[in-house]
Amino acid sequence: MVKSCNLDYVLIGHSERRKFFYETDEVINKKIKKALSFNLNVILCVGETLSERESKKHFEVVKRQVLSAIEGIDNFKNLKIAYEPVWAIGTGINAKPEDANEMHHFIKEIINLNVLYGGSVNENNAYSLLSQHYIDGLLIGNSSLKKEAFNKIIDIAELF
């Protein structure tokens, strides 16, 4: 269906799909395999809830999500990862750049892929996020719907 619309990218594993549609790690793995079999570019979304972060389980949760998502996959050419802390999505509260950078570094130690940051990205925090060593790009949600804000984010991204 995605290919019939001439699209090349899919998001898989977004927290809202996990929460509201009860998508498990196993379902996400199957979706990734199917998307890759059609030569689609996959952006795998991973991230912890606020309670998981506060209880210091955030690394464990993200590691489980990444490893289960890539199980049985041997070609990662069309795969990217987006770290989106659930508590930051649509809330206007983004992870501190240093905390996001730390998680990106952690993910890259599991699998060396491009890792994007998503979670309340806007024109005011884009520079500080992109300035971090391990953040490869941004996955922009609500700000992509606001022309002026989105254009400012693009201008900032072009600096890197």
Catalytic residues: 14, 84
User: How many CA atoms within 13 Å lie on the side-chain side of 152?
Assistant: 13
Contact predicate 107/76, CB 8 Å: no
Instruction: Identify the burial level of 1 via C-beta atoms within 10 angstroms of its C-beta, where 0-12 means exposed, 13-18 middle and 19 or more buried.
Output: exposed
Question: What DSSP element (H or E) covers 20?
Answer: helix 15-20
User: How many CA atoms within 13 Å lie on the side-chain side of 23?
Assistant: 21
Coil, helix or strand at residue 87? helix
